[in-house]
Chain A
């Protein structure tokens, strides 16, 4: 899982003359650059820098005021800039990892190994380049592969891991009390271990403040996403892939509040002016399932645009909606176990998707059959029938990968999309236009 903080979408359709970046996007780029720069500065001063999984309780390191980078987010950004292949090749070749494991893991482990061998990532033109880690933060709430990935990083780099073991919710809608107690206990334990490792006391007042900021940010993000239920949508849904980066890498920071407040203002201005960041007429609205094909984002965007299709919403961006009351550690422990739909059952996930398709007035669903993120993908094989039956919209799948360029086929993507568009057009002629609930 991750969000792309790469700033401008590489390979996106050329626009002439190039429109200036909206202020919110410039702020995202500035924020991302600042996070990486701060980590390098700390590293150069000999202070610890962390690498963390994307949905680890970030509130801890934020409270300790220790810089943290996010390999999944970094892998997404590097893939979007078509710079990931040498690392993936290194992981598969020299390190002998199989092609079947997550490509974020391959890319990052390849990069870490090159760093370990003193091959400076900074000087190779890799952007954004991660400062080497002194510790790792791991929560396995989006998949268990993360555990092996981080275990291997920890062994290869000889650094400690702060681990929060989350339990999946396969047999219940809500995590049982013992699961919440289990995760809470681990969070408390991590705090104790971190106090020792960083040589500082944990400031519980600051922690409460960070929790408050984190909640403000996730609520703001939800409000912005909800605006896209308007018809036509004020945003190209693919923008969400870029704007989720602040939530992934700076969820507990005030700079994210500034960015999201600005984005909300811009989006509301689009609504007031009847404009949108989606170029051209929005003929169809689809719900996107799965992580973006980062290396092919530009192609996907252009092809969707060519058919007047706006992927107004996707289930992926809601994974950082970690909702709890500030001060309620049990609530926080619960939230970290349910925010990623990867930890739910197929019917549980599909129930959310069906509600979202209805809420965002989608005419169809486009599913990324992602060779890397199997946990997120396998649900759709059975789930598509649930979507078709209950949401009554057609579903089309296409093959791809979030980072590995060998899997995606442009021709296949276009054929599947075109087939979906033709069915959606046929349905529209039959049923009239489906209205978004919040239009």
Chain B
């Protein structure tokens, strides 16, 4: 039995093919979000990698911000439930999932059996989201995916006091013109994201274990800063970026 989960986010698309809801056959990440060729590309890539045709997939579920805008699927589910289910599959001890997406941040509470019990999400503001990191990376002229490694070289943290993306952008520009080190500035940006995310996570309550999902989890600097803010270890699975897609594929299996 083959199922596919396609997570159409605002900045990236992820697809996964599962056999019998257990074995990952193929995964694809395309750094293009909804409204682009990203969804179609992630969809096709996963099929190619698994060496199967669309007709051989028993059920396809969509999730993510762009879940209503792709025709070739059997249904859709919210990214809230899919992230919860996906992380439980990857890290079964987890009770609190923090997902930092391109334009929102979620803190999810899972039951011991992995069912979604509750969630809180950021208000309509880009502070603490992947978009915030993207904007700051742009100002510093570095790639978003290089921010984690860059912050490794920090000797101190340049504090960024504005949480508003637009104001923080000007703050980062003025720090750059004051000649601060890029590594120290990056560490400060990570701390700013972590503070904002932690306040949301505290609102939902912190229950061990805590995991970070979504693409931002690949940034070690954010993970470290968040662990420091939450005063707790934060688990990250190598497939953390795929959690939403995995959850969708698992729900697809359950629906068969």
List the interface of chain A (C-beta within 8 A of B).
369, 381, 388, 394-397, 399, 407, 409, 411-412, 415-416, 418-419, 422-423, 426, 430
Contact = CB atoms under 8 A, between A and B. Distances in A.
Contacts, number: 44
A369 B79 CA distance: 21
Contact of A396 (B104, B115, B119, B124): B119
Contacts of A426: 115-116
A412 B119 contact: no
Contacts of B78: 415, 418-419, 422
B77 A418 contact: yes
Interface in B17-75: 65
A422 B116 contact: yes
Contacts of A395: 118
Closest 8 CB pairs of A and B: A419-B80, A418-B78, A399-B124, A422-B81, A419-B78, A426-B115, A399-B123, A423-B116
Interface of B is mostly: mixed
Nearest to A417: B78
Interface string B215-232: 000000000000000000
B118 A388 contact: yes
A296 to B, nearest CB: 13
B65 A419 contact: no
- Most chain A C-beta atoms within 10 Å of own C-beta, residue among B79, B116, B124: B124
A14 B255 CA distance: 32
Interface of A is mostly: helix
B208 interface: no
A62 B246 CA distance: 64
Interface string B123-141: 1100000000000000000
A394 B80 contact: no
Contacts of A412: 104, 124
Interface string B70-102: 000000011111000000000000000000000
Contacts of B116: 419, 422-423, 426
Contacts of B119: 396, 419, 423
B203 interface: yes
B80 A411 contact: no
B117 interface: yes
Interface size class of B (residues with CB under 8 A): 10 to 19
Contacts of B124: 399, 407, 409, 412
B123 A415 contact: no
A411 B65 contact: yes
Given A418-B78, A418-B80, A422-B78, A394 B123 contact: no
B235 interface: no
B154 interface: no
B182 interface: no
A300 to B, nearest CB: 16
A397 B80 contact: no
B117 A423 contact: yes
A423 B79 CA distance: 13
Contacts of B123: 369, 397, 399
Interface of B: 65, 77-81, 104, 115-121, 123-124, 203
- Most chain B C-beta atoms within 10 Å of own C-beta, residue among A411, A412, A415, A426: A415
Contacts of B77: 418, 422
Given A415-B78, A419-B78, A422-B77, A394 B120 contact: no
A415 B80 contact: yes
A422 B61 CA distance: 15
Nearest to B66: A411
11 contacts: A394-B118, A396-B119, A397-B123, A411-B65, A415-B65, A415-B121, A418-B80, A419-B78, A419-B80, A419-B119, A423-B118
A422 B82 CA distance: 10
A150 B77 CA distance: 47
B248 to A, nearest CB: 12
Given A412-B104, A426-B115, 14 more contacts: A394-B117, A411-B65, A412-B124, A415-B121, A416-B121, A418-B78, A418-B80, A419-B80, A419-B119, A422-B77, A423-B81, A423-B117, A423-B118, A423-B119
Contact of B79 (A399, A407, A415): A415
A419 B104 CA distance: 14
Contacts of A394: 117-118
Contacts of A369: 123
Contact of A397 (B79, B117, B120): B120
Contact of B80 (A381, A407, A409, A422): A422
A417 B160 CA distance: 34
Contacts of B120: 397
A396 B80 CA distance: 12
A397 B120 CA distance: 8
Contacts of A381: 203
A395 B203 CA distance: 13
Contacts of A396: 119
A399 B123 CA distance: 6
Contact of B81 (A388, A407, A419): A419
A394 B81 CA distance: 14
Contacts of B118: 388, 394-395, 423
A396 B203 CA distance: 13
Contacts of A388: 118
A425 B123 CA distance: 25
Nearest to A415: B78
A432 to B, nearest CB: 15
Nearest to A429: B115
A369 B118 CA distance: 17
Contacts of A415: 65, 78-80, 121
A412 B129 CA distance: 15
Nearest to A394: B118
A304 B124 CA distance: 20
Contacts of B121: 397, 415-416
Contacts of B115: 426, 430
Contacts of B81: 419, 422-423
A310 to B, nearest CB: 19
Nearest to A407: B124
Contacts of B203: 381
Contacts of A397: 120-121, 123
A397 B121 CA distance: 8
A118 to B, nearest CB: 38
